[in-house]
Copies of this chain bind each other. A is one copy, B any other.
Amino acid sequence: MARKLKTFQTISRSDLAWCRKLRLHSELPDENVAALRSIVSPVRVLPEDLVIVREGDLSTQCCVILSGFAYRSKVAENGKRQILSFHIAGDMPDLQGLPLKRMDHDLTTLWEARLGFIKHEALESVLEPRPTLARALWRETLVDALLFRQWIVNLGTRSTAGRMAYLIGELRQRLATMGLVVNEQFDFPITQSKLADALGLSIVHVNRVLQTFRTEGILDLKRRVVTLKDSKRLSSSADLTAWRTMLSARKIEIRSRRIRPAGQSKGTGRAG
C-alpha cells in the first residue's frame, strides 16, 4: 500500500533550518530569505526510493530538503550505478537545474523526505531584483561542486576503509551543522548496496569494512543509525584529518609528486 503523499501549503517552523543554512555561506538580508521562503510551494512528504527528477529531464522546479535524505546517481554504460552524493535537510540538490535545465543525473529519495518545491519561474522573478540572493545560490552550487571534488580525491587516493570513513565523516559534519547529530549518533538510512554504489566497491567488501570498523570499535552502522564509538578523532578537527590519518595508517609517502628544487627551468613559483 502506497504511503500517502501529504501536501502542505507552507513550510513549518522546523523547516527553517534551511534558511539558517543559506546564511552560513552568504550574508543575506532578512527580506531576501523571506522572499525565497514565500515561493516554496508545495511541500510534500515523499516515501523511500522515489525518483524526484531523472537524468534527461528538463527541470522546471527545484527542491529543498526540509527533512529526510536524498541522493544523486548516474548509471554508467556498463550498467553500474554510481551514487554521486547524499543530501540532507537544508540541501537544494537540483538547484543547478535553474541555469542548466537538462538533468545529467537522477535525484532520488534515500528515505522518507519532506521536500519543498520551488518553481523556476517564481525563483527567477525573485532573483531578478535581488543580485545578492542570486549570488548566494550560485555559491550554493559551487559548494556542491567543491564536495564533488573532494569526493574525487576520496575515490582516487584513499584506501577502501579510508573512503568509507570519509563518507561517514563528511556526513557527520554536514549533519552536525544542521543539528542532526546527537550523542555522536545520527540517522543514516542506507543499505550496504547503496554504500557500495557510492564508494565504487562490491557489496561484500563494504560489509567487510563495516565489520572491521565494528570490531575495532570505531563506528557502528546498523538499523539506519550510525554510532561513532571513537568520536575523539572526529571532533578534534573539522576537516577530519586525524580521523583519516588514523584509518589510512599505512602509506605516508608522497607518490609521484616531485618537488623541484628552486631555480630549475620548470617553474615552481607563482603566477602573479
Contact = CB atoms under 8 A, between A and B. Distances in A.
Contact of A196 (B2, B81, B239, B256): B256
Interface stretch (A29-37, A142-150, A210-218): A142-150
Given A139-B99, A145-B96, A256-B197, A78 B242 contact: yes
A182 interface: no
Interface stretch (A10-18, A171-179, A223-231, A246-254): A246-254
A78 B47 contact: no
B271 A99 contact: no
Interface string A71-104: 0101111111110100000000000100110001
B50 A269 contact: yes
A77 B245 contact: yes
A271 B149 contact: no
A232 interface: no
Given A141-B138, A148-B145, A149-B104, A49 B81 contact: no
Given A44-B271, A78-B252, A157-B80, A99 B152 contact: no
A266 B49 contact: yes
A268 B46 CA distance: 11
How many copies of this chain?
2
Name which of A138, A152, A253 has the most chain B CB atoms within 10 A of its CB: A152
Nearest to A248: B78
Contacts of A257: 75, 79, 81, 197
A40 to B, nearest CB: 15
A79 B155 CA distance: 14
Contacts of A254: 75, 79-81
A144 B104 CA distance: 12
Given A77-B241, A78-B252, 9 more contacts: A49-B266, A74-B149, A78-B162, A81-B157, A81-B255, A82-B157, A99-B135, A104-B146, A148-B149
18 contacts: A1-B265, A2-B265, A46-B271, A48-B267, A76-B158, A77-B242, A78-B241, A78-B244, A78-B248, A80-B245, A81-B157, A82-B156, A99-B139, A99-B142, A104-B149, A138-B138, A141-B145, A193-B256
Interface of A: 1-3, 5, 44, 46-54, 72, 74-82, 84, 96, 99-100, 104-105, 109, 115, 128, 131, 134-135, 138-139, 141-146, 148-153, 155-158, 162, 193-194, 196-200, 203, 238-239, 241-242, 244-245, 248, 251-257, 260, 263-271
